[in-house]
């Protein structure tokens, strides 16, 4: 065991935590990996300088580094490794809105919701909206290239990050990009670090571009007899327009959400779609009419439209509550597979077939408009056989997505839980290219070992 006394001495008082009870709380992230290790210590960095000191100490002592934001990773990206130093950026706080350049400069520990709120005070909007937006940090969002519900129209985190401050493996801090909307000077290093899952450096500041405040959205809810009908309706919508939101929940999910929220959802429905249009005036009305028609053309039993923001938010909140709601029924293996849109109905059918073949429950929610689905495999962890069947189903769903030309992760990242399937998607040459860049930037291999590679 490496002696951390020199690290404690090098950092401000109480920055380094070695209390086993506190460390235990940081071992796992939201993916709750039972194989999580125990960190050597935890650094609660309050500044870029703290992060640099910690990284330099790790480089000197060959200690691996796990960076953690709020620990909301669903793929084990922030799971502790035995003997690693865990560096959390959750105490690095603050956001500055620049209305003239329409940008926000964010400390990494700011919650996504706080960035949104700060922007909203100035009539501006930060679109990316992972379902965990109230409890996930902007630093983690950048490190994983997080997505959300708005992506179908507004893109993902990388589409908003203009600049970063990053601490490199030798402890140097570099500034990449800035507030310019257009800046092509040098390699696209800013974008390389977005989504790098802690492998290349530690993000200590994030500059994001903001949009003018979103128009009030109108919401259309469709109730369908089968998941197949609902996924066909998705294609009917997206082939004609680009809605601001297009979310999918299957019967299992609807039931689980209704159990938790008791909001009067139809438990007999095979699937539900929630679409929004934020196009202004007549264009929005035309888009809503088009969505309603696409739903009806694909055998919707019921189509409900509201321009009441509270009603719309209630349905969106129901969708966001899906993962915790389903989790009440067992442990989860959380998929994040995406396919090119035309393959969505086949993917949904294929997931159902995999569930049947392995006799496990798979609840399906999806950011359907961009082909990104979250099959949630529900299992009893005390039942070894069921746990094994769940794991087999987990594997097969990723295999199915890759076979369809899709991705094993649309927005959660590969982390530790999905890295086994990454070579099947990327191929050996791209894996080698990935390793080449990793080795060049982190020759000691200290940043987030066990993730991706």
Applying the rule CB under 8 A, the residues between 254 and 313 that interact with a copy of itself are 279-283
Q: 225: helix, coil or strand? A: coil
| Residue 93 interacts with a copy of itself (CB under 8 A): yes or no | no
| Residue 216 interacts with a copy of itself (CB under 8 A): yes or no | no
Q: 368: helix, coil or strand? A: helix
| Residue 406 interacts with a copy of itself (CB under 8 A): yes or no | yes
Burial class of residue 392 in the structure, from the number of CB atoms within 10 Å of its CB (0-12 exposed, 13-18 middle, 19+ buried): middle
| Residue 164 interacts with a copy of itself (CB under 8 A): yes or no | no
Residue selected from 339, 360, 363, 365 as contacting a copy of itself according to rule CB under 8 A:
339
Q: Rank residues 361 and 434 by Cβ distance to a copy of itself and give the closer one.
A: 434
Choose the stretch contacting a copy of itself; rule: CB under 8 A; options: 96-104, 128-136, 260-268, 311-319. 96-104
Q: Kindly list the distances between the CA atom of residue 304 and the CA atoms of 108, 155, 313, in Å, as whole numbers in the listed order.
A: 40, 27, 14
Name beta bridge partners: 416: none
- Nearest 10 degrees: Cα torsion 236, 239, 240, 243: 90
Q: 84: helix, coil or strand? A: coil
| Residue 247 interacts with a copy of itself (CB under 8 A): yes or no | no
Helix pair 344-358, 227-238: axis angle to 10 deg: 160
Burial class of residue 291 in the structure, from the number of CB atoms within 10 Å of its CB (0-12 exposed, 13-18 middle, 19+ buried): buried
Q: Rank residues 61 and 191 by Cβ distance to a copy of itself and give the closer one.
A: 191
The minimum distance between CB 371 and a copy of itself, in angstroms, equals 6
How many angstroms separate the CA atoms of 62 and 2, rounded?
9
Report the candidate in 96, 101, 80 with the shortest Cα–Cα distance to residue 35: 80
User: Which residues, 130 to 149, sit near a copy of itself by CB under 8 A?
Assistant: 144-145, 147
Q: Rank residues 201 and 270 by Cβ distance to a copy of itself and give the closer one.
A: 201
User: Which residues, 361 to 380, sit near a copy of itself by CB under 8 A?
Assistant: 367, 370-372
The minimum distance between CB 215 and a copy of itself, in angstroms, equals 8
> How many residues sit close enough to a copy of itself to count as binding (CB under 8 A)?
87
Choose the stretch contacting a copy of itself; rule: CB under 8 A; options: 10-18, 93-101, 256-264, 386-394. 93-101
Q: Rank residues 190 and 316 by Cβ distance to a copy of itself and give the closer one.
A: 190
| Residue 221 interacts with a copy of itself (CB under 8 A): yes or no | no
How many angstroms separate the CA atoms of 332 and 322, rounded?
12
How many angstroms separate the CA atoms of 225 and 217, rounded?
26
| Residue 152 interacts with a copy of itself (CB under 8 A): yes or no | yes
The minimum distance between CB 252 and a copy of itself, in angstroms, equals 23
| Pairing of β 65-68 and β 95-98 | unpaired
Phi-psi region of 32 (alpha: psi -120 to 50; beta: other; left: phi over 0): left
| Residue 156 interacts with a copy of itself (CB under 8 A): yes or no | yes
The minimum distance between CB 148 and a copy of itself, in angstroms, equals 10
The minimum distance between CB 26 and a copy of itself, in angstroms, equals 24
User: Which residues, 416 to 435, sit near a copy of itself by CB under 8 A?
Assistant: 418, 422, 425-427, 429-431, 433-434
Residue selected from 17, 408, 417, 446 as contacting a copy of itself according to rule CB under 8 A:
408
User: Which residues, 45 to 64, sit near a copy of itself by CB under 8 A?
Assistant: none
| Residue 340 interacts with a copy of itself (CB under 8 A): yes or no | yes
Centroid of chain to Cα 289: 31
Centroid of chain to Cα 435: 23
């Amino acid at each position: 065991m490496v002696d951390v006394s020199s690290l404690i001495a090098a950092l401000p008082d109480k920055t380094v935590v070695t209390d086993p009870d506190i460390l235990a709380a940081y071992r796992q992230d939201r993916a709750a990996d039972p194989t999580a290790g125990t960190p050597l210590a935890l650094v609660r960095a309050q500044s870029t300088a703290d992060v640099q000191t910690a990284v330099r100490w790790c480089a000197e002592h060959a200690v691996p580094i796990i960076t953690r934001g709020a620990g909301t990773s669903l793929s084990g990206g922030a799971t502790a490794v035995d003997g690693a130093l865990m560096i959390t950026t959750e105490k690095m706080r603050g956001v500055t809105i620049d209305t003239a350049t329409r940008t926000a400069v964010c400390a990494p520990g700011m919650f996504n919701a706080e960035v949104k709120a700060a922007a909203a005070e100035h009539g501006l909007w930060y679109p990316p909206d992972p379902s965990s937006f109230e409890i996930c940090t902007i630093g983690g969002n950048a490190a994983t290239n997080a997505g959300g519900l708005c992506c179908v129209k507004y893109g993902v985190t990388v589409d908003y990050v203009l600049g970063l401050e990053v601490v490199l493996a030798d402890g140097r801090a570099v500034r990449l990009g800035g507030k310019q909307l257009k800046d092509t000077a040098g390699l696209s290093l800013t974008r390389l670090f977005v989504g790098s899952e802690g492998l290349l450096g530690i993000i200590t500041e994030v500059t994001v571009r903001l949009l003018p405040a979103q128009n009030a959205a109108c919401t259309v809810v469709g109730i369908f007899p089968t998941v197949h009908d609902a996924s066909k309706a998705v294609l009917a919508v997206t082939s004609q327009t680009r809605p601001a939101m297009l979310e999918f929940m299957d019967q299992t999910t609807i039931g689980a959400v209704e159990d938790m929220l008791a909001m009067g959802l139809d438990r007999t429905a095979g699937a539900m779609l929630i679409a929004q249009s934020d196009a202004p005036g007549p264009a929005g009305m035309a888009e809503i009419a088009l969505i309603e028609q696409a739903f009806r053309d694909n055998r919707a039993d019921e189509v409900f439209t509201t321009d009441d923001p509270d009603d719309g938010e209630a349905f969106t909140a129901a969708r966001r509550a899906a993962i915790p709601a389903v989790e009440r029924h067992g442990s989860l293996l959380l998929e994040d597979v995406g396919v090119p849109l035309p393959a969505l109905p086949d993917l949904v059918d294929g997931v159902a077939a995999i569930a049947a073949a392995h006799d496990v429950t798979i609840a399906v929610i999806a950011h359907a408009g961009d082909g990104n689905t979250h099959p949630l495999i529900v299992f009893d962890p005390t039942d070894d056989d069921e746990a094994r069947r769940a794991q087999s189903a987990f594997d097969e769903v990723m295999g199915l997505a890759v076979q369809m030309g899709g991705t094993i992760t649309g927005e959660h990242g590969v982390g530790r839980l999905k890295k086994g399937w990454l070579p099947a998607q990327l191929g050996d040459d791209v894996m080698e290219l990935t390793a080449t860049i990793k080795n060049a930037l982190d020759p000691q291999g200290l940043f987030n070992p066990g993730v991706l590679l």
